[in-house]
Amino acid sequence: MNTIIIGLQWGDEGKGKIVDYLTEESDVVIRGQGGNNAGHTVIAKGSKYVLHLLPSGILWDSKINVIGNGVVIDLIGLVQEITRIESQGIVITPDKLLISDRAHVVLPVHKELDAAREAALGEHKIGTTKRGIGPAYADKVNRCGLRIADFLDREYTVQQITRRVAEANEVLARYDLTLFVAEQVIEEVYTAFERLRPHISNTIPVLHAAWKSGKKLLFEGAQGTLLDIDFGTYPFVTSSNTTAGGSCTGSGLPPTAIDAVIGVCKAYTTRVGSGPFPTVDEGLSEYLHGLGREFGATTGRPRGCGWLDTVLLRFACMVNGVTGLAVTNVDGLDEYEALQICTGYDIDGIVHTLPPADRKAWDRAVPIYETLPGWKSDTTGCTNFSALPAKAKAYLSRLAELCGAPIQFVGVGPDRVQTLVKITE
């Protein structure tokens, strides 16, 4: 069984936790898109791990983790991340972590260009993570990016980085920002490349061999469907295909290798960064922040919080071909008296049950809610699905009905063991 784990909202749905949980039964975990804009938190055996580029299967021994061709890799950031995770007692050997030689590289200049562009946009900024993701993918699509394999040809790479630094400096000079020195950039990225070199290979035949020999593959999505470059709330999106198809183009495994797609969503909605968010609710945001929850794992920014939006989820289930849902953070709603579920948007008097493409229509979207009773009890100690309060089960069953996909997993806390499996009758 080969399964894609995908975010159904605006990211931070709890994908890392679900991937970690399912790694136990899998052989290979693969990231296919995004970069270190992702922040996946896993809590296991009393320790907290925050992963940005490393697949969340890395915490398990004897599992293979692959950073696929579709990922954009900040080499320096990845070395720092490996060092940090190793200092937490996790061993990362070259046979445990494989890095695709076709993956594109995020250079330090990309990060600075990302920040400069955001500053130039002022109040219209995207609210990026400033990890250089947009500029790196732009270079890839513009056919002037650097791939990991290019680093094997030092002369070519030095020439390309020198050119890229000169181009970037022209832009940065306009904003009076600190300019890069090409030689320094080359030294820094090459040092990181040399550290990572034992992990680098052509990962495509490795993945195909694993597939053909019946190994279980788990694809770890980053970001979420509404941040997808095609399906998201453009232009307030990231620069990759965060939806199920991105797992195939980002790994070299074909759609025929995929058996299931698990869509991960929170029991409510969150968003970090700019862009439309019809169901945002100040009270819910304040409440969850008061509990110390919903602060971004990558930037530490508070996430906006709002009611469950099934307009988004219905669309996300469609475009990803979701076969089962993992609903996390159900415990976040434990104390609420009444819960709202958005079933449609009223835009100029017309009810929409799917998100609009027109960016201005989002501003006029008024959520249509139905209210369900809260369960008003602590779910964090529940150890199986049947132990959940009846009203929590009713909430989840309405969610599934509105999305058109069955519930498969439920999260009642951040720990690995706080994942409940719904056994289908």
> Count of CB atoms within 10 A of residue 323's CB?
17
Q: Is 352 a catalytic residue?
A: no
Cβ–Cβ under 8 Å, residues 326 and 409: yes
Query: Taking CB under 6 A as the rule, which mask of x and - marks residues 149-188 in contact with ligand IMO?
Result: ----------------------------------------
**Residues 285 to 304: which contact ligand GDP by CB under 6 A?**
297
**Class of residue 284 by CB neighbours under 10 A (exposed 0-12, middle 13-18, buried 19+):** buried
Minimum CB distance to Mg ion, residue 12 (Å): 4
Residue nearest to ligand IMO (CB): 273
Among 36, 100, 128, 419, binds ligand IMO (CB under 6 A): 128
Q: Is 131 in the site for ligand IMO (CB under 6 A)?
A: yes
Of 12, 20, 114, 309, which one is the catalytic site residue? Answer: 12
Distance CA 325, CA 328 (A): 10
Applying CB under 5 A, the span of 12-20, 55-63, 141-149, 153-161 interacting with Mg ion comes to 12-20
Q: Which long-range CB contacts under 8 A does 187-191 form with residues at least 24 apart?
A: 188/76, 188/108, 189/75, 189/76, 189/105, 189/107, 189/108, 189/161, 190/151, 190/154, 190/157
Minimum CB distance to ligand GDP, residue 61 (Å): 21
Query: Taking CB under 6 A as the rule, which mask of x and - marks residues 107-136 in contact with ligand GDP?
Result: ------------------------------
Structure tokens given for 186: 């080359």
Minimum CB distance to ligand IMO, residue 173 (Å): 23
Distance CA 422, CA 420 (A): 7
Of 40, 104, 110, 199, which one is the catalytic site residue? Answer: 40
Q: Is 12 a catalytic residue?
A: yes
Structure tokens given for 382: 């529940």
Q: Is 16 in the site for ligand GDP (CB under 6 A)?
A: yes
Written as one string, the DSSP assignment of 91-114 is ---TTTEEEETT-EE--HHHHHHH
Residue 266, CB-side half-sphere exposure with 13 Å CA sphere: 26
Distance CA 421, CA 130 (A): 37
Q: Is 331 in the site for ligand GDP (CB under 6 A)?
A: yes
Q: Is 55 in the site for ligand GDP (CB under 6 A)?
A: no
Q: CB nearer to ligand GDP: give 14 or 276.
A: 14
Provide, for the chain, the percentages of residues in helix, strand and coil under a 3-state DSSP scheme, each rounded to the nearest 5: 40, 20, 40
With CB under 5 to 8 Å by kind, the binding choice for 104 among ligand GDP, Mg ion, ligand IMO, none is none
Cβ–Cβ under 8 Å, residues 246 and 33: yes
Among 98, 116, 126, 217, binds ligand IMO (CB under 6 A): 126
- Residues in contact with ligand GDP by the rule CB under 6 A: 7, 11-17, 39-41, 43, 297, 328-329, 331-332, 411-414, 418
Instruction: Tell me which residues are annotated as active site.
Output: 12, 40
